[in-house]
Amino acid sequence: MAVPDFNLLQTLDVLLAEQSVTRAGRRLRLSPSAMSRALARLRKVTGDDLLVRAGRGLVPTRRATEMRERVRALVEEAQILLRPADRLDLATLERTFTLRTSDGFAETFGPRLIGQVQQEAPGVRLRFIRKLDKSSEGLRGGTVDLETGVAVGTTGPELRTQLLFADRYVGAVRSDHPLARETVDLAGYCAWSHVIAWREGLDLGGIDERLGSLGLSRQIMTSVDGFSAALALARGSDLIATVPDGHTAGLREGMFTFPLPLHLDDFSVSLLWHPRLHGDAAHRWLRGCVREACARRRDSV
């Protein structure tokens, strides 16, 4: 009996995760034609189509669905077995880490993080992708190495978390806005139109509920899907943007920032990762770099 090509396990793992020959090829750095040949080999070896056409995409067969978790576990176990234990040479480390972060994190904490990474491990590359929802699938599936955000019940109980910093909401307007010349009170906050960063699952701290309990309201003139866009609109108009203080410090340079004239609870921003990477020496080092970058930025403001 011929010995199977175990390299196909990783290929199968990525194909089942992406359900796309093109996307799987990008992750494995293979051309679409090479990826198609690999899928053909997998079909021949397993005796199953694995992925079949459904409209403009691909969907897994019943056997592929049954295999997915076992294949993922086998690949993870192989990576652990073949990884040098507790030996980490940062000077020669070559690895790309994907960080999924909320809007403003890269702009605020990225420069310090990149500076430390370049100094300690010049062969390491960081890839920031924007966090648009609370899903933890990227961490579970291995497409994301680290994530930042507010740890909530939808995050996933199996994930590891560590507090990075406490944050609060503040108001921001352009530097020559009339509100920049006075102490902003509730009347002033409610008198001007607002831009809010809103998307499904994003908690805005209950601002409008709190105003409503006081018999007040604010006029929301426009909404966008991120803090960066909200601040850009506020910077070029009379609108008020209400955003997380620490998280967006790098986006508010040159703007007038004021404490909200109503009480809202602070919230915690955490670092999240999957347990399979908990003992990975390089991953542990990067987690330390992120924590240090956040601490240094917080101490400097």
pLDDT at position 135:
78
pLDDT at position 149:
85
SS3 per-residue string spanning 147-190: EEECCCHHHCCCCEEEEEEEECEEEEECCCCHHHHCCCCHHHHH
Annotated domain spans of the chain: 7-82, 95-167+268-300, 169-265
Common-topology check for domains 7-82 and 95-167+268-300: no
Report the alpha-carbon distance of residue 243 to residue 136 in Å, rounded.
23
φ, ψ of residue 73 in degrees (nearest 5): -65, -40
Paired strand residues for 171: 242, 258
Tokens representing 100 are 């999924």
CB 24 within 8 A of CB 36: no
Contacts (Cβ under 8 Å, ≥6 apart) of 45: 4, 5, 8
CB 32 within 8 A of CB 25: yes
pLDDT at position 129:
92
CATH superfamily of 95-167+268-300: Periplasmic binding protein-like II (3.40.190.10)
Helix (H) or strand (E) holding 12: helix 7-18
φ, ψ of residue 95 in degrees (nearest 5): -165, 145
Q: How far is CA 238 from CA 62, 177, 217, 233, in A?
A: 56, 7, 18, 9
CATH 1.10.630.10, applies to 7-82? no
The highest-level CATH class for domain 169-265 is alpha beta
Closest C-alpha among 237, 253, 167, 249 to residue 195? 237
Question: pLDDT 10s digit of each residue in the chain, 301 long?
Answer: 466 677 888 888 888 888 888 998 888 888 989 889 989 998 998 899 989 988 888 898 999 888 888 888 888 777 766 765 567 889 999 899 999 998 888 989 999 999 999 999 999 999 999 887 777 788 888 899 999 988 765 455 678 899 999 999 999 999 999 999 889 999 999 999 999 987 665 666 689 889 999 999 999 999 998 899 999 999 999 999 999 998 898 899 999 999 999 988 888 899 999 988 888 889 999 999 999 999 875 555 4
pLDDT at position 175:
95
Type of residue at 23: R
What is the pTM assigned to this prediction? 0.68
pLDDT at position 261:
93
CB 238 within 8 A of CB 192: yes
Type of residue at 20: S
